[in-house]
Structure 1
Amino acid sequence: MTDGHFVVIPVTVEDVLYCSFSSWYAKFGKYTISDAAIFKPLPKEFVAYLESDGIELPKENKKDSVLFQDAKPNSDNEYSDWEESDAGILKNSEKMNSDPTEHFKSFHNELKETIKSFGSVAPKLNWSAPQDSTWIMTGRNMKCFSTSDLFLLLKSSDYVNHDMYHAFDETTDYDKANPPKFELELILRKWVDINPSTEFRCFVRDRQLIAISQRDLNYYSFLDEIKEEIMEKIFMFFDDVLMGKFDCNSFVFDVYIPKPLKKMYLIDINPFQRSTESLLFSWNELATMKPADDDVDIRFVTEHNSGRFASKAHSQNHVPVEFVNASVDTQSMIDFLKKCKNMELENSDSDDSSNEETERL
């Protein structure tokens, strides 16, 4: 808010399209940290698979995802007295006889070959990576070793849904009668381990770099010592690489500067709009701040404010810890489902008792 008014951030359909991965990667791919394979356009059968309810993985390598390994009660464990209806919770996949990849075999083979050639990959669509669904992965990251990992991440992500249906919701020139046409794309980037402490998000408004935020919201004491060097390197990268070649006037870009701060890598480019995470800034600040031409507001998590950012990123997409633990252990999954079933029965009994009391009254 400014003077009690909500600040409108103007962003056009064209601005959003410029930030689509294949659009900016064509110009700046040599500045990124790893190779990327872009699949575009996507087969309509694969898009239909992403749109479908439920999570069904390729039959040939479903075992690669621990969450979907079969767990069946038997005489060797304490749940051997389960009724068939109880055990049925774990057998949903058995009811699905068809392999989802049967409808896009050729494309599935392309994905497998790409993953094999890269060793492991990190996926994203045009604008968003499925970071909100990493809780379901054993490594708690986006590192995929198989198409099962890949599909599990994509099918569990709300961010993927944003790219498919809501990418232009904030644009000022959006016409519902004539929605913008774009090709949905899948990008597989070769996995590279990076140190999150030196990844930064940079905000550009009207061709001016106005703000820089630490990307990972944890406290790193050494950042203050290298603050001036970080600012200088980001300014140079923006002036020499992005400002004259990127077609957007306002945008957000992420960079990684590994120690000893000799190199800089472009990680991503996003639209200058509220759905892009503003991290240590508010969007009203970013829309109204008026820095001098040679000034930029750079912010780090400090020892004094670290408690404000203690919650994990994408926590709104997280689930009970019992389910997270169960996702990496078959027996834990049995325990978790048994607990859920008991709670369901207890709630049912409670409702019945309440109804009986009401009838007596």
Structure 2
Amino acid sequence: MKEEEVNRCQIQEWYPKFKSVSIRTLIHELPESFVEYLLDDSGPFLLPVSVSNEDALPNRVHNPYEEEDFQVSEGSGDEAEPSSPLSFPELELKIKESIESLGGAVFPKLNWSAPKDSAWISTSGTLRCTSFSEIALLLRSSDSLIHDLCHAYDSCGDKTLSRPQSFFLALRKWYPSLRPEMEFRCFVRGQSLVGISQREVTTFYPALLEKKNDLEVLIQGFFDNNVRHNFESENYTFDVYATNDKRVKILDFNPWGAFTLPLLFNWEELEQNEEANGMEFRIVESQCGVRPGLKTAVPYDYLDTSQGSGWDQFFRNADEELQQQIRSPEAGG
């Protein structure tokens, strides 16, 4: 992998070219002071003071006496003076304007990654944000964004950079009706589509069994007409959403390998598909095929789910129990 391949997958790089086939997004370059705030772990967890008087946690109980304990500048004893409250007024006002322009709710991401691991801390339990304070809370609480901030080029064979020159905040329009089962990751090798995987691998969606063939044709056609000749890398992945009216929207681009999860594939299988000039579409086809994913203590690709393994037996037992429940009199079976 090369630095230029990683750089092409930054949202501020690919979105202008694919804007017409993506979801509406507004992008802001972040001031270095805000980047430093995201990286700072030397003191207590404090959110910026909102110039719009918006609070990311509106139901919390404020204790000004406790908060004052943390607002101390360098010095000791009587010489210590309260430091100025942290604030980013110019950035906040720009973000507020963008949120209003996008319908009042957005989900944020940096150059490459969204703060999915910190969704639990929001009042909604999702990445839905309606204010700068909510965005700051998600970004500041996320460990996964450390990849963007510090490790984006670690897998590059020609690594010369430790971080991009600038960081960007992408605000993407929030669509409450999006269904996770209609998101797919597409794998491109040698500018050919070699694999498609259901993106949400922790759930079995029976409806996908009937739609699989139509979805394969739809996504392959979208790749041929909109992506193949417009994205410069030879090897990469891209995520899409298939709408009810048979349109496809690009959600993201990611490098081939490294930090990108192969989901229902492994990288060796995908490389073999290229050599065989074949394309395979994989979905979770039963309860037994569900992957533990990121909802367990360790990523699913560190777990043995092969036939006869402990996880395999667990899923078989779960599927048998489900079938028994369906056939029981109480269920009307």
TM-score (normalizing by structure 2): 0.77
Structure 1 residue 165, shift from structure 2 partner: 0.8
For the 8 Å contact 2:152–2:162, the answer to whether it is kept is no
**How far apart are the structure 1 equivalents of 2:241 and 2:69?**
46
SS in 2 for 1:143: coil
**How far apart are the structure 2 equivalents of 1:139 and 1:292?**
46
**How far apart are the structure 1 equivalents of 2:167 and 2:31?**
10
Q: Does 1:46 align with 2:31?
A: no
Richer in helix (by share): 1
Q: Name the amino acid aligned to 1:238.
A: F
**How far apart are the structure 1 equivalents of 2:228 and 2:4?**
17
Structure 1 residue 240, shift from structure 2 partner: 0.7
Evaluate the alpha carbon distance shift between residue 198 and residue 48 of structure 1 in structure 2; reply closer, same or farther with a 3 A threshold. Answer: same
SS in 1 for 2:215: helix
Counterpart in the other structure of 1:232: 217
Counterpart mapping for 1:243-282 below 5 A: 243-260=228-245, 262-282=246-266
Evaluate the alpha carbon distance shift between residue 209 and residue 91 of structure 1 in structure 2; reply closer, same or farther with a 3 A threshold. Answer: farther
For the 8 Å contact 1:70–1:91, the answer to whether it is kept is no
Counterpart in the other structure of 1:309: 291
Counterpart in the other structure of 2:7: 17
Evaluate the alpha carbon distance shift between residue 314 and residue 158 of structure 1 in structure 2; reply closer, same or farther with a 3 A threshold. Answer: farther
SS in 2 for 1:64: coil
**How far apart are the structure 1 equivalents of 2:18 and 2:226?**
8
SS in 1 for 2:149: helix
Q: Name the amino acid aligned to 2:242.
A: I
Runs of at least 4 residues of structure 1 off by over 4 A? 178-181, 310-317
Evaluate the alpha carbon distance shift between residue 282 and residue 106 of structure 1 in structure 2; reply closer, same or farther with a 3 A threshold. Answer: same
Q: Name the amino acid aligned to 1:18.
A: R
Q: Name the amino acid aligned to 1:69.
A: R
Q: Which runs of 5+ in 2 are unaligned?
A: 72-83, 300-333
Counterpart in the other structure of 2:314: none
Evaluate the alpha carbon distance shift between residue 208 and residue 228 of structure 1 in structure 2; reply closer, same or farther with a 3 A threshold. Answer: same
Looking at both structures, which has the greater relative contact order when contacts are Cα pairs under 8 Å and sequence separation is at least 6? 1
C-alpha RMSD over aligned residues? 2.4
Counterpart in the other structure of 1:93: 67
**How far apart are the structure 2 equivalents of 1:251 and 1:30?**
20
**How far apart are the structure 2 equivalents of 1:252 and 1:166?**
19
| The structure with more radius of gyration | 1
For the 8 Å contact 1:132–1:314, the answer to whether it is kept is no
Counterpart in the other structure of 2:26: 37
SS in 2 for 1:133: helix
For the 8 Å contact 1:200–1:213, the answer to whether it is kept is yes
Counterpart in the other structure of 2:165: 182
Structure 1 residue 150, shift from structure 2 partner: 0.2
Q: Does 1:171 align with 2:156?
A: yes
For the 8 Å contact 2:195–2:280, the answer to whether it is kept is yes
Counterpart pick for 1:300 among 283, 288, 292: 283
1:158-183 deviation per Cα after TM superposition (whole angstroms, max 9, x unaligned)? 221110110000111113xx657532
Structure 1 residue 26, shift from structure 2 partner: 1.5
1:252-307 deviation per Cα after TM superposition (whole angstroms, max 9, x unaligned)? 101101224x21111111111220121111233334444543x311111122424x
Evaluate the alpha carbon distance shift between residue 285 and residue 68 of structure 1 in structure 2; reply closer, same or farther with a 3 A threshold. Answer: farther
Structure 1 residue 197, shift from structure 2 partner: 0.9
Counterpart mapping for 1:52-91 below 5 A: 52-53=40-41, 54-60=44-50, 64-66=55-57, 69-70=60-61
Q: Does 1:26 align with 2:26?
A: no
Q: Name the amino acid aligned to 2:291.
A: F
For the 8 Å contact 1:211–1:298, the answer to whether it is kept is yes
**How far apart are the structure 2 equivalents of 1:179 and 1:153?**
23
Q: Which runs of 5+ in 1 are unaligned?
A: 1-10, 73-89, 318-361
% identical aligned pairs: 36
SS in 2 for 1:142: coil
**How far apart are the structure 1 equivalents of 2:118 and 2:237?**
23
Evaluate the alpha carbon distance shift between residue 240 and residue 314 of structure 1 in structure 2; reply closer, same or farther with a 3 A threshold. Answer: farther
Q: Does 1:109 align with 2:109?
A: no
**How far apart are the structure 1 equivalents of 2:164 and 2:49?**
34
Q: Does 1:138 align with 2:126?
A: no
Q: Name the amino acid aligned to 2:38.
A: L
Evaluate the alpha carbon distance shift between residue 21 and residue 229 of structure 1 in structure 2; reply closer, same or farther with a 3 A threshold. Answer: same
